A and B are shown apart, each in its own frame.
Chain A
Amino acid sequence: MATILEAKGLSKSFGAVTAANDINARIEQDSVVGLIGSNGAGKTTFINMVTGYLKPSAGTILYQDRDITGMQPRRVTQLGICRSFQIPQLFNTLSVYENIRVGVGIAGRSRSAPRQSEPEARAQIDRLIEDFGLGGYRTQAAGLLPEGVRKALDIAMAVAGRPRVLLLDEPTSGVSADEKFRLMDMVMSALAAQRVTVLFVEHDMDIVSRYTHRILAFYEGRIIADGEPQEVLQHAEVLRYVIGEQLHVSAGKEASRAAD
């Protein structure tokens, strides 16, 4: 499979604090990759560097073999990498429909693709609203929505950019436990028709093991494990530094869910 995104020796320091330390990773096209690690381990820093919010102190980022290190977020997005945010970044005074419309409008006028027509744009907006379960909130102001819906909208806006690579920063954080799977199912089926490479940061190991082909485990700015979910989630260091007690608990949850 072709490599769509590659990080080589990526590092980032803020004075004495090392947020990222020699990160090397090759992401294959159309794969779904989970990024795990405790808070401050470097996952969001990684996303911020890839999307241009932070300039790496060292290393390079290649997207489709093209060096995008240090490129402005706007350019990175135009090239096809979109992201969602830990804290939803929405247009709070605009309605759900208008939020998505802005995203679709920008993407539809991007230089890399032919100009999208008005009916096409409208169809895309309707499709996104439906795929992300936002139909009931169509005309409501984004600032007044419940948290789970805000998250869904935030992701929908990223998807509106018709990305080749989608980076989701903690898509299910702040969402209630029973909603998490519903949200991820929604996101994944919305992406099913398109060829999108997905990377998402996640703390919930159930979610990570369910949806990913591969996991990158971060700790103190380094990648301590990189491989298939079963492998990584049993990895000694990962168990010690990332999961701790959790796997034990979630194993119990899996068992009880299977029993239902």
Chain B
Amino acid sequence: MNDAKTPTAFWDRTMIGLSAALLVLLIVGLVLPQWALSFGTVGVYLGIVVLGMALLMRTGLVSFGQGLYYCLGAYAAGTLDHFFNLSDLLVMVVAGALLAGVVAGILGLLLARYRDIFFAMLSLAFSMILYGLLVKTSQLGSTDGFGLSVKTFAGIALSGGRARYLIFSFACLLGFVAAAFMHRYWSSHLGRLATAIRDNELRVEYMGESVRRVIHLNYVISATLAGIGGALMAGAIGHVDPETTANWTTSGEFVFIAILGGTGSVFAPFLGAGIFEAVRTFALERFPNTWQMSLGITMLLVMIFLPGGLWSAFRARRRTA
């Protein structure tokens, strides 16, 4: 809760931190092994999706349907390569973002009227509708989905041994842009309106602002971020299917990461995503039948003892240092 006695500078602590993180990742990435680069990429694109979830949560809404836009982004990317031979990752990301944004623009008109459980349920319903549609669409591979490959990013060839590093770098770049944008947004009047709406919608309306308009806008932004994440995922993994994108369990994972990381800063979603992916990879290998349980226990512990997510613990320690 800062007082902002001085004008909000562009290059504040967070922006510098983000830039430093980007530089560090790009440089360190040059020497990281392939598995680490893959892991990092996953953490980034999951983090981008959860960045959008965090915005919604700041507005007081929990969506159980971000998978819808994640899926749209992924399938947009996949379709471009598989059916149109357009294999540029940047084009895919833009397409994913646009598709997600447009659909959210339409669905948001409706969803912005709902809150709490009903918002969660309706968002879940839309996600499951897409899931059901895809499962029954054989041209898109039904439950198996289909594969894709990315050949370039903004014209730069993604070939040979450097491919994974390049994808990782582009992911980090996109992550940086998304986080920077979100940070500026959170510090702006619209960003402040989000938490005000969460605290007291009635008052916001009574002050002359349309709550529905702000919620709609935030919904579109979060959907666009999910679309970007989905497209990145498709490019990085090389495969899309309904189960890992549109099914409600995937949306549930995004909710989980959002709670794990917290919503206090733009770094939090990436922190949460990183830890989630680390635990998942490790647990899936060693304890394939108990990793969900570990997730559940972790989530409960975080919700009970650290309602602000892991980021709040990190922040608290820094303040006392």
Interface positions of A (Cβ within 8 A of B): 51, 72-74, 77-78, 82-83, 89-95, 97-98, 101-103, 105-107, 109-110, 118, 138-139, 141, 157, 160-161
B1-31 vs A, CB cutoff 8 Å, 1 = contact: the mask equals 1010001000000000000000000000000
* Chain B, range 144-197, C-beta contacts under 8 Å to A: 189, 192-193, 195-196
CB contacts (< 8 Å) of A93 on chain B: these are 195, 198-199
CB within 8 A of A73: which of B7, B192, B206?
B206
Q: Report how far A106 CA is from B206 CA in the complex, Å.
A: 10
CB within 8 A of B3: which of A73, A74, A83, A139?
A139
Q: Report how far A210 CA is from B107 CA in the complex, Å.
A: 54
Q: Report how far A157 CA is from B210 CA in the complex, Å.
A: 17
CB within 8 A of A98: which of B1, B203, B207?
B1
CB–CB A74/B203 < 8 A:
no
CB within 8 A of A91: which of B3, B7, B196, B205?
B196
CB–CB B200/A95 < 8 A:
no
CB–CB B1/A107 < 8 A:
no
Q: Report how far A139 CA is from B205 CA in the complex, Å.
A: 24
CB contacts (< 8 Å) of B193 on chain A: these are 102, 105-106
B224-236 vs A, CB cutoff 8 Å, 1 = contact: the mask equals 0000000000000
Number of interface residues, chain B, beta carbon within 8 A: 20
CB within 8 A of B1: which of A89, A90, A94, A106?
A94
Interface residue B204 (Cβ < 8 Å from any Cβ of A): yes
12 A–B contacts, CB within 8 A, in A order? A77-B207, A82-B207, A83-B206, A91-B203, A93-B198, A93-B199, A94-B195, A105-B193, A106-B207, A109-B189, A157-B203, A161-B208
- Whole-angstrom distance between the Cβ of A122 and the nearest chain B Cβ: 8
Q: Report how far A167 CA is from B255 CA in the complex, Å.
A: 42
- Give 10 new A-B contacts, CB below 8 A, not counting A105-B189, A105-B192: A72-B205, A74-B210, A77-B208, A78-B208, A91-B203, A95-B1, A95-B3, A118-B7, A141-B1, A160-B207
CB–CB A91/B195 < 8 A:
yes
| Nearest 4 CB-CB pairings of A with B | A77-B208, A91-B199, A89-B203, A105-B189
**With A91-B200, A92-B199 as contacts: A101 and B192 at CB distance below 8 Å:** yes
CB within 8 A of B205: which of A74, A95, A102, A105?
A74
Q: Report how far A122 CA is from B189 CA in the complex, Å.
A: 13
CB contacts (< 8 Å) of A138 on chain B: these are 3
CB contacts (< 8 Å) of B202 on chain A: these are 89
Q: Report how far A83 CA is from B202 CA in the complex, Å.
A: 12
CB contacts (< 8 Å) of B210 on chain A: these are 74
CB within 8 A of B208: which of A90, A91, A98, A110?
A110
CB–CB A90/B200 < 8 A:
yes
CB–CB B207/A161 < 8 A:
yes
Query: Which A residue's beta carbon lies closest to that of B6?
Result: A122
**With A94-B196, A98-B1, A141-B1 as contacts: A106 and B208 at CB distance below 8 Å:** yes
CB contacts (< 8 Å) of A74 on chain B: these are 205-206, 208-210
CB–CB A77/B3 < 8 A:
no
Q: Report how far A106 CA is from B210 CA in the complex, Å.
A: 10
- Whole-angstrom distance between the Cβ of B70 and the nearest chain A Cβ: 29
CB contacts (< 8 Å) of B204 on chain A: these are 102, 106
- Whole-angstrom distance between the Cβ of A121 and the nearest chain B Cβ: 9
Q: Report how far A79 CA is from B85 CA in the complex, Å.
A: 55
CB–CB A94/B199 < 8 A:
yes
CB contacts (< 8 Å) of B200 on chain A: these are 89-92
CB contacts (< 8 Å) of B189 on chain A: these are 105-106, 109
CB contacts (< 8 Å) of A141 on chain B: these are 1
CB–CB B207/A103 < 8 A:
yes
Q: Report how far A92 CA is from B201 CA in the complex, Å.
A: 12
Q: Report how far A97 CA is from B3 CA in the complex, Å.
A: 7
**With A89-B200, A89-B202, A97-B3 as contacts: A102 and B192 at CB distance below 8 Å:** yes
Q: Report how far A102 CA is from B200 CA in the complex, Å.
A: 12
CB–CB A102/B208 < 8 A:
no
CB contacts (< 8 Å) of A97 on chain B: these are 3
Q: Report how far A53 CA is from B10 CA in the complex, Å.
A: 40
CB contacts (< 8 Å) of A83 on chain B: these are 206
CB contacts (< 8 Å) of A161 on chain B: these are 207-208
Query: Which A residue's beta carbon lies closest to that of B207?
Result: A106
Q: Report how far A78 CA is from B208 CA in the complex, Å.
A: 5
CB contacts (< 8 Å) of B198 on chain A: these are 93
CB contacts (< 8 Å) of A106 on chain B: these are 189, 193, 204, 207-209
**With A94-B199, A101-B192, A105-B189 as contacts: A77 and B1 at CB distance below 8 Å:** no
